[in-house]
Structure 1
Amino acid sequence: MICGVDEAGKGSVLGPMVIAAVGCMQMDDLTALGVADSKKLTKDSRERLNASIREQFPYSIVIRTAEDIDTLRQTMTMNEIVARAHAEALDALSCTEAYVDACDVNEKRYGETVRSFSTSDTTIIARHKADALYSPVSAASIVAKVERDHIITELAQIHGTIGSGYPSDTVTIAYLQEYISTHKRPPVIARSSWETVKQMMHRKNQCSLLDF
């Protein structure tokens, strides 16, 4: 079986990173569905394709919460965290050949890192922009993106208006600033090890010292 793996939410400051792997017997199997890089698809198209992929093909999902990522970053780089999750998602499908979206500037090195975390004998091919090059990776990017979007929606129902969770989202930043100002700490859904949060906490502490 051929597999593709990709993640959504690697760079977000709120919410989880979701990693998905999708398997197929032939590349054309997924190409026929019309899969593409999830970032180039509309929300409705992603939802439709996600349903078709899950119904017709084997897949696996790995979730790393904000707390997981903060803990892992104490001993691992972010690329290693992603690589280990990629390997975990691939191992769940027992594929013989896997295509992964390289999270390192060095594609070969990233592939070797994923391989080091894998418990299977899968041949791993790491490429930049693999989600646009290989249909199994495109499919995995869709499943990961839709799964993460659903989780963000669920988190918003609990925590209020949080935006997409990315540092570039003004709604997310406003939520973080308000929460930290009110509670004097980051919310549990935030990645406290992220520079965005560290800077907000630093500014809060500086203001507190000035008030004193």
Structure 2
Amino acid sequence: MPEWICGVDEAGRGPLAGPVVAAAVILDPAQPILGLNDSKKLSEKRREQLYVEIHAKALACGIGRAEVAEIDAINILQASLLAMQRAVQRLAVTPDHALVDGDKLPQLLCTAKAIVGGDGLVDCIGAASILAKVARDREMIELDAAYPGYGFARHKGYPTRMHLEALQMRGVTEIHRRSFAPVRRLLCES
């Protein structure tokens, strides 16, 4: 009986808006995927290509998320761990072991190991990094249409100059994280 090892990573801890999204992936050793890496080290085009290939070849993939209200209620670290836990729970196969990017572990029903920089070192974590990033980026592009003028399709909610200026001019939306300092300051000023 083979041992099922899943890689786990998240995307979206730093933005001022939108959910934090996590992914869990169990790769198929019989169908290797070339070029897996930390999603931040790949071009958007390459991430999109790998996203499709991962879904086609992996034994199991799960996506989990924590919403803005959860981030504000329990803090971004705890929300990230919750999204990771949800991603693992959504796998079609229950893993025997999880390899998690970072230095903290979510509560899981299997053994787990945290690996700092794991998304660039371990293929299954790199695959999870790619799925989480692409899933979150796609959602932020959709939110750009719902909240025009903020530039979500370009900056994905990160605190760029463009985003901070839009926040100043247009105000805080319901998808902004009120517990994050730039947003909290704006709310206090108004």
Task: Specify the TM-score bucket, using the shorter chain as the normaliser.
Answer: 0.7 to 0.9
Letter paired with 1:149? D
Q: TM-score when scaled to structure 2?
A: 0.87
After superposition, give the CA deviation of every residue in 1:27-50 in whole Å (9 maximum; x if it has no partner). Answer: x854x3321111111110000000
Partner of 2:124: 136
Partner of 1:66: 68
Residues 65 and 86 in structure 2, CA contact (< 8 A), matched pair in contact too: no
Q: How does 1:45-194 map to 2 (within 5 A)?
A: 45-57=46-58, 58-71=60-73, 73=74, 77-93=75-91, 94-102=94-102, 107=103, 110-111=104-105, 114=106, 117-118=107-108, 120=109, 122-163=110-151, 164=155, 165-167=157-159, 169-180=160-171, 186-194=172-180
Partner of 2:44: 43
CA distance in 1, matches of 2:27, 2:56: 12
Q: TM-score when scaled to structure 1?
A: 0.79
Residues 6 and 19 in structure 1, CA contact (< 8 A), matched pair in contact too: yes
Identity fraction in percent: 33
Letter paired with 1:59? C
- Structure-2 change in CA distance of 1:25 and 1:56 (3 Å): closer
SS in 2 for 1:95: coil
Equivalences, count? 180
CA distance in 2, matches of 1:160, 1:67: 21
CA distance in 2, matches of 1:90, 1:25: 16
After superposition, give the CA deviation of every residue in 1:71-93 in whole Å (9 maximum; x if it has no partner). Answer: 3x2xxx43222222212212332
Moved over 6 A (4+): none
Residues 46 and 146 in structure 1, CA contact (< 8 A), matched pair in contact too: yes
Residues 2 and 25 in structure 1, CA contact (< 8 A), matched pair in contact too: no
SS in 2 for 1:188: coil
- Note the aligned Cα RMSD (angstroms): 1.7
SS in 1 for 2:113: strand
Structure with greater proportional helix content: 1
After superposition, give the CA deviation of every residue in 1:100-143 in whole Å (9 maximum; x if it has no partner). Answer: 012xxxx3xx23xx2xx22x2x1201011110111001000101
Partner of 1:210: none
After superposition, give the CA deviation of every residue in 1:137-194 in whole Å (9 maximum; x if it has no partner). Answer: 1000101111111001000011113232112x112112211122xxxxx211100111
Any unmatched runs of 5+ in structure 2? none
Partner of 1:19: 22
Which has the larger Rg?
1
- Structure-2 change in CA distance of 1:151 and 1:68 (3 Å): same
Any unmatched runs of 5+ in structure 1? 181-185, 206-212
Residues 9 and 132 in structure 2, CA contact (< 8 A), matched pair in contact too: yes
Partner of 1:183: none
